[in-house]
Amino acid sequence: MKIKFHIAASVSTVLTLHSALGQGALTPPGAPAPVMKSLDQIEARTIVNSANTPGDGTNLFIISQPGSYYLTANVVPFRFLGGTAKNGIEITANNVTLDLNGFAMQGAMGNSGIYIPYAQTNITVRNGTISGWAANGIDSASSSSWNQVFERLNISTCGDDGVTSYGTAAVRDCNCENNTEDGIDCFGGGIISGCMVNKNGFDGIQMGGGTISGCSVQLNGNIGILVVVGSTVSGCYVEWNTANGIFLDATGCAVIGNTCYANNIAINDSNNRVEGNHVTVNGYAGIQVYAGGLSNVIIKNSVSGNGAGNYVVPAGNDLGPVGTAATATSPWANISH
Amino acid sequence: MDTMKNTHNLLTAVLLLFAGSFPLAAFAQGSLTPPGAPAPIMKSLDQIEARTIVNSANTPGDGNNVYIISQPGSYYLTGNLVAPLHLFGGTAKNGIEITANNVTLDLNGFALQGAAGNAGIFIPNGQTNITVRNGTISGWAVNGVSSGGYASVNQVFERLSVSACEMGIFLYGAGVVRDCNCYNNNSDGIYCGAGGICSGCTAKNNAGNGITMGGGIVTACTVQNNISRGIYLVPGTATGCLVEGNNQSGIYVDAPGSMVVGNTCIENNSSSASSEAGIYINDSNNRVEDNHVTESGLAGIQVSPDYTLNIVIKNAVIGNGANNYIIPSGQIAGPLITTLGTITNANPWANFSFNP
């Protein structure tokens, strides 16, 4: 009886003490909320496919809304088109980023790989391969487009140009080889940097007002770098292009610190500056200003291998004295040997 | 009697409830026919990671290759690739052979560990549009990356660390090598046989040349402690590089038409070989300008007596005594400024020459 009493007292004491401690509220702090990410949150971008970006009679896919898009497979249109030429992906919206995700857009019978028909703004295409399209690899057709970026792309064997942009664009770290016409055309100007542009059927690069730097431009079928609106060309390696290495068909350009081997620098306009370039072993002239070109400044270059044609500069231009470094006293002298 | 009453009340309640439900049935109801087949409304895992995993199921190998990528597309690793001897019964295999065009391979931060293998990445023919990026390649008996086709087009190798192979990255054709590190390989660190662009790379402690460029640009690279030359141009442009402690020349030009501009060369040609220098020119018609060359073995800037018409201007060479510049006749060199203090020589092409 006594034992039972002690047990009862102990249990009572424990229960009393326990109930004296503060307890959490039994009311939930709020509605249950997800604490983990969904798959859509992990990959929030939109897949380019027939459901999300349906095409039409001339485009396999159309991106018509702003956003971030990506590929989940190669784009191979000849399987689907029954012979009709289509663009791969048309972008008709502003504010679009398209990640090719390492995949290839293989054109075969298609038209252009990426087609940007209107005056789009803020377009980025990156990270993949575009090859074999009957027209251009990338075709941005409006001169009113701006903030376009094309980067880390390999573009080859397209029937026209690798990249052609009539608006302003930055083409960065792209390689364009073996296209039937030009490698990269930025008619609307912009930046072309760190690109390898080889073996295209016509010009390597055409620039309509901007900066070309750190590019390797070799073995193209016509001119290596053609500038048609005032631009800067610097730090490029230009070799064995069939016509000129660098051709200025514009006024107000600066051509600085380039290496031209088996290629020359030609100027077909006025008011340009050609400085610190190294030009060797050309077919006719090293640095040449065509008749009619005036007020071009040609200084501190070195040219060899063309004899009397190292510098062909008519009157009316500002040519640093031509001589050897050992004897020149002018800081603007051009070296010739 | 009470039981009957209760039963009656219950029946009445049920009937009232049943009757009360009729007005509801008078409202229009949605069709019971589903609007269509169920469709996915969320992404699948394959859509989130759409690229193809490199493994024995997707990219089966053969007797010479652990894996073969034979179709265009985007591929990635999900683990290290270890090719130890015991897996192959002594047969040397390449890690991943790429036989298709239009391939992007992301090593995804993983390592290709060669042991007795052949090459880490093997591109046997003239493939087009190949990108390999983002990982480690080490210990392959041949090269870390071996691209054997001279006609290869649009090849890019970026963000790779390659060590303890024969050559680190070997390209017989043209290509771009960007932001790669090549250490401790048994021959050259980076070899671009047909030119291209090599930028932002480190080539260190290789048993051959640090970087060999066969017609292109070498820029903003760090090239140190290689057993042969630091940068070997045949031809090309070398600009903005740090070249230090290489056993032979820091920069060696072995073709005409090259430009060596704005590089820093420290303590190269540590072997003091006679036909080497901080910068050595072994052909004609090259331009060496604005380089800073210090404490080289034998000579700072040297031109081979067998060639002519090289231009050496505006450089600074320090610490090679009478051999700061070895410029034979037939070259074009700016005059030397050798006196300390305020510069009075106004020649804009002058080279600086000092010995502390």
* Closest by Cβ to A261, choosing from B72, B178, B235: B235
Q: Is the pLDDT of residue A129 over 60?
A: yes
Q: Quote the number of domains for chain B.
A: 1
d(CA A91, CA A139): 10
3-state secondary structure at position B235: coil
Residues of chain B neighbouring A333 (CB-CB closer than 8 A): 348-349
* Chain A residues touching B303 at Cβ < 8 A: none
Chain A positions in Cβ-Cβ contact with residue B130 (cut-off 8 Å): 154
- Given the structure tokens 């031509």, which residue do they identify? A322
- Cα distances (Å, whole numbers) of residue A196 to A289, B170, B339: 27, 18, 44
Per residue in A202-226, pLDDT (tens digit) is: 999 999 999 999 999 999 999 999 9
Q: What is the mean pLDDT of residues A1-12?
A: 50
- Tokens at B30, concatenated: 């949605």
Confidence (pLDDT) at B24: 46
Residue B11 pLDDT class (50, 70, 90 cuts): low
Distances (CA, A) of A144 to A51, A122, B258: 30, 12, 40
Residues from chain B contacting residue A259 (CB–CB below 8 Å): 236-237, 257-259, 287
Mean pLDDT of chain B: 89
Chain B residue numbers with beta carbons less than 8 Å from the beta carbon of A233 are: none
| pLDDT band with cut points at 50, 70 and 90 for residue B9 | low
Helix (H) / strand (E) element for A60: namely strand A59-63
**8 Å CB contact of A218 and B349:** no
Residue A29 pLDDT level (bands cut at 50, 70, 90): confident
Task: Measure the CA–CA gap between A141 and A118, rounded to whole angstroms.
Answer: 7
Residues in chain B closer than 8 A to A337 (CB atoms): 285, 309, 311, 332
Cβ within 8 Å, pair A175-B334: no
Of A157, A214, A239, the CB nearest to B219: A214
> Beta-carbon neighbour count of residue A311 at 10 Å?
22
Q: Residues near B251 by Cβ (< 8 Å), separated by ≥ 6?
A: B229, B230, B231, B233, B238, B241, B243, B260, B263, B265, B278, B279, B280, B291
Q: With 0-12 CB in 10 A as exposed, 13-18 as middle and 19+ as buried, what is B3? A: exposed
Residue A79: exposure state from Cβ atoms within 10 A (0-12, 13-18, ≥19): exposed
Give the per-residue SS3 of B121-142. Answer: EEECCCCEEEEEEEEEEECCCC
Q: Which of A38, A42, A154 lies at the smallest CB-CB distance from B156?
A: A154
A214 vs B: CB within 8 A = yes
Each residue's pLDDT tens digit, B120-145: 999 998 899 999 999 999 999 999 99
Which range marks the domain in which residue B133 is found? 50-207
In a domain, B39, yes or no: no
CB within 8 Å: B237 and A259:
yes
Q: How confident is the model at residue A17 (pLDDT cuts 50, 70, 90)?
A: very low
Cβ-defined contact of A103 to B239 (cutoff 8 Å): no
Please give the pLDDT value at position A271: 94
**How many percent of chain B have pLDDT more than 90?**
72
* B235 contacts in chain A (CB < 8 Å): 261
Interface test with A, best of B45, B77, B219, B285 (most A CBs within 10 A): B285
Tally C-beta pairs within 8 A across A and B.
203
pLDDT at A91 over 80: yes
Q: Does A157 touch chain B (CB under 8 A)?
A: yes
Residue B20, pLDDT > 50, answer no
Q: Which of A101, A128, A216 sits opposite B195 (nearest CB)?
A: A216
For residue B256, give the nearest of A154, A173, A280 by CB distance. Answer: A280
Distance from the Cα of B169 to chain A's closest Cα (Å) equals 18
**What is the mean predicted confidence (pLDDT) over A149-168?**
96
A66 touches chain B (CB under 8 A): no
Test mutation, A79, A261, A265, A310, chain B, max B CBs within 10 A:
A261
- Residue-wise pLDDT for B289-341, tens only, equals 999 999 999 999 999 999 999 999 999 999 988 899 999 999 989 999 998 88
Contact yes or no for B162/B169 (Cβ under 8 A): yes
pLDDT exceeds 50 at position B60 = yes
Please give the model's pTM, rounded to 2 decimal places: 0.86
Q: Report the pLDDT value the prediction gives residue B32, as an integer from 0 to 100.
A: 78
- As beta bridge partners, residue A241 has none
Q: Has residue B21 got a pLDDT over 50?
A: no
The tokens 């020459």 sit on which residue?
B353
Q: Is residue B19 part of a domain?
A: no
pLDDT, residue B22, reads 45
Instruction: Look at residue B43 and tell me whether its pLDDT is greater than 80.
Output: yes
Nearest CA distance, B216 vs chain A (angstrom): 6
Could you tell me if B317 and B299 are in contact, meaning their C-beta atoms sit under 8 angstroms apart?
no
Contact status of A262 with chain B (Cβ, < 8 Å): yes
pLDDT number for residue B238? 97
Rounded distance, CA A73 to CA B134, Å? 20
Q: Is A196 on the interface with B (CB under 8 A)?
A: yes
Identify the bridge partners of residue A304 per DSSP, sorted by sequence position: A280
Q: Tens digit of pLDDT for each residue in A265-322?
A: 999 999 999 999 999 977 778 999 999 999 999 999 999 887 778 999 999 999 999 9
B356–chain A nearest CA distance, Å: 25
Which chain B residue has its CA at the smallest distance from A101's CA?
Answer: B74
> Which residues from A are below 8 Å from B46, CB to CB?
72
Q: Residue B277's closest CA among B308, B243, B306?
A: B243
Among the partner residues B48, B195, B348, nearest to A331 by beta-carbon distance: B348
Is the pLDDT higher at A15 or at A332? A332
Give the mean model confidence (pLDDT) for residues B256-284. 95
Question: A333 to chain B nearest CA, in Å?
Answer: 9
Measured between beta carbons, the chain B residues lying within 8 angstroms of A128 are 74, 104
CA distance A158 to A145: 23
The percentage of chain A sitting over the pLDDT mark of 90, rounded to a whole number, equals: 73
Which of B237, B334, B349 is closest, CB to CB, to A237?
B237
pLDDT of residue A313: 95
8 Å CB contact of B47 and A328: no
Length of chain A: 337
Q: What is the maximum span of chain A, computed from C-alpha positions, in angstroms?
A: 130
pLDDT, averaged across chain A:
89
Beta-carbon separation of B47 and A330 below 8 A = no
In a domain, B77, yes or no: yes
Q: Tell whether A127 lies on the interface with B, counting CB pairs under 8 A.
A: yes
Q: Using an 8 Å Cβ cutoff, are A230 and A210 in contact? A: no
A78, pLDDT greater than 80:
no
Give the chain A residue whose CA is nearest to the CA of B336. Answer: A326
- Domain A40-336 in CATH 1.10.20.60: no
Answer whether A325 sits within 8 Å of B349, measured CB to CB: yes
Residue B166 lies in a domain: yes
pLDDT band at B67; cut points 50, 70, 90? very high
Query: What is the mean pLDDT of the segment spanning B5-18?
Result: 52
pLDDT bin (cut points 50, 70, 90) of residue A83 is: low
pLDDT at B25 over 50: no
Average pLDDT over residues A57-69: 95
Contacts of A214 in chain B (CB under 8 A): 197, 199, 217, 219
